Each structure stands twice: as C-alpha cells, then as structure tokens.
Amino acid sequence: MSRIMKSLDVMPSFKYHPRCTTIKLSHLVFADGVSVCCGGEFPFVYVMLQAFKLFSASSGLQINSQKSDFYTTGMLENLIYRTKDVSGLSQSRLPFKYLGVPICAKRISTAECGVLVEKMCARIKVSSSRNLSYTRRLQLINSVMLSIHVYWVQVFIILRTVLQEIKKVCRAYLWSGNFYTSRVGNASWEKVCQLKQAGGLGIRQILQWNKAALVRYVWATISKQDSLWIKWVNTVYIKEADWWNYQAPQKSSYIGNNIPKHIMFAWMAMQERLWTKSRLMQAGVVQGVDCQFCDAG
C-alpha cells in the first residue's frame, strides 16, 4: 500500500494536505488501521480512492465502511456529498479516539480529559477495591489509578484543572476509601508525595510527572531525531527558529512492592497525624481520653 500511495506524488491530479506537502505525507499505517490525508478538493480525494481500489484489487482487502469515516475542513457542502457518494463512507467530526486517546486538531479540552477522572472513579466504585486498609489503598493508587493517566501524560500536556481533579480523587480515596470526601486528610498531600527516603509515601506528583514525561520530546525535537513526527513538527511549526525562543500558536495541539501495614501507621505516627484519642477529643468526636480496655488515662 505504501508503494501505491507514494506513486501519487508524480500524479498531477493529486495534491497533498497543505501541512504535509513539504515532507510529502499522504498516509499513516497503524497496527489495525490506516489514516490518509490530501488536499480538500474532490479530484484529489477521488485519486486517493482510486489508489485504495487498486490496493484492494491487488491484495483482496476491502475498506470496512462500518468502521471507517472521513473528516473535512474548509470543504464545500457539494464536495462533501460527492465524497460520501463515491467513497460510501460517512462524515464524522473531530475529535475521534484511537487507542483510547482523543485525536484533535487543537488543544485538548477539559471535557475530553474528563474520561481520566471517570475511569478512576469507576475503579473506586468497584466493590473489590473498597473497604481496604491504608496500605492497600496506597498500592492501588500507585499501581492502578495513577497508571491510568500515565499514557495520556506522555502524549498531552493535561490541563491543570484535570490534574487537580485527579489529585483530589486519589487523596480522597487514600484517606476515606471513596472518590470524594470533605474530610481533611491525615497528612498534607505534598508530604504524602515526597520520596520515601524523604519521609513521604512515594506517590507520584502528577503535575510534575506530566512535564517530566514530555521532556524527551523536547530533546527529540531539538536534536531532530529520525522520526516522522519530529520532521513534521520542525517543518510545520519550528522551521528555522530556535527552540528556546519559539512561541507556539495558541490553538496548536499538544503534544509497586508490597508494604507491611504497620509501615503506613508508623509513618502517620511520625507525622503526628494518627487519629489518637487525644486528637479525637480535640476534634469533639469523643469526650474523654480514658482507654477503652483498661480505663486508664
């Protein structure tokens, strides 16, 4: 298929998408799908469909019209209807999802990132993940809940409001076992997220993690590594500009071990955040500090 698509380059009746002309990008092949792009005129679309027809005749593979769509921008309505009739595909709108990640032409929105919070809340609602000890909740946060957004933060700069909401969910679950609570935590979240060597519990700081995960793309862009995405970014956006002085357009797209239970309680005791009877009395929960077992103060 790649050979057929590359042969379009010499055809006068075909034109690349305006942002793909320099690097001559007409298609992207994934594990279970293909994405193609061209100029927004019907003759260009028709030539590309003919290339697909040639590929189908050669390989015996056909386009699944039930799982395929086309997306347009700036095309006239009559050209869109002609494309529908010729291709047999339905028109859709951005964003669409691929491997669970929204593919959009502009900066990702809060609503599109909200699925991260929903997945975490759904995980907490599962009966098997509730009524656990502090230690088990800590393990679940580190190994499951925060792992849900790891892939996303390596692709996008997630909005701060969404990251703050994720932090609230994790904090509420650690101290209460639910995805929301108005109760104050036993220790500050900043202290909890410190390294274990520094006296914390080792939970990842998701705000810093998002930025750190994207640093590798900065290095790849500056060093101009041999990658199609890097070539496209340097060609379309950065061009000959200096990376450190470059200002991106406003609408551009973005880019555990088992822990013994006593360790968790020992950590809270060292932070003086255990709900001892004296603290409960100060909070007005109990009236006296006498021991329930020996009646001694």
Residue 276 lies in a domain: no
Query: Does one domain contain both 250 and 111?
Result: yes
Query: Does one domain contain both 86 and 182?
Result: no
Q: What percent of the chain stands above pLDDT 90?
A: 0
Query: Does one domain contain both 73 and 180?
Result: no
Q: Has residue 257 got a pLDDT over 50? A: no
Residue in 263, 31, 29 with CA at minimum distance from that of residue 139: 263
Residue 296 lies in a domain: no
Residue 238 lies in a domain: yes
- Determine the average pLDDT of the residues in 273-296: 66
Range of 237's domain? 106-259
Query: Does one domain contain both 180 and 68?
Result: no
Query: Does one domain contain both 110 and 254?
Result: yes
Q: What is the pLDDT of residue 6?
A: 83
Q: Has residue 78 got a pLDDT over 80? A: yes
Q: Has residue 207 got a pLDDT over 60? A: yes
Query: How does residue 285 score in pLDDT terms, banded at 50, 70 and 90?
Result: low
pTM over cut 0.85: no
Secondary structure of residue 225 in the 3-state scheme: coil
**What span, in angstroms and rounded, lies between the C-alpha atoms of 42 and 149?**
40
Query: Does one domain contain both 88 and 161?
Result: no
Residue 290 lies in a domain: no
Residue 45 lies in a domain: yes
Residue 269 lies in a domain: no
Count of CB atoms within 10 A of residue 197's CB?
Answer: 7
How many domains, in total, are found in the chain?
2
Q: Has residue 267 got a pLDDT over 50? A: yes
Query: Does one domain contain both 130 and 248?
Result: yes
- Determine the average pLDDT of the residues in 144-150: 75
Q: Has residue 269 got a pLDDT over 60? A: yes
Question: pLDDT (tens digit, 9 = 90+) per residue, 124-146?
Answer: 777 555 677 888 888 888 777 77
- Determine the average pLDDT of the residues in 170-179: 82
Residue 285 lies in a domain: no
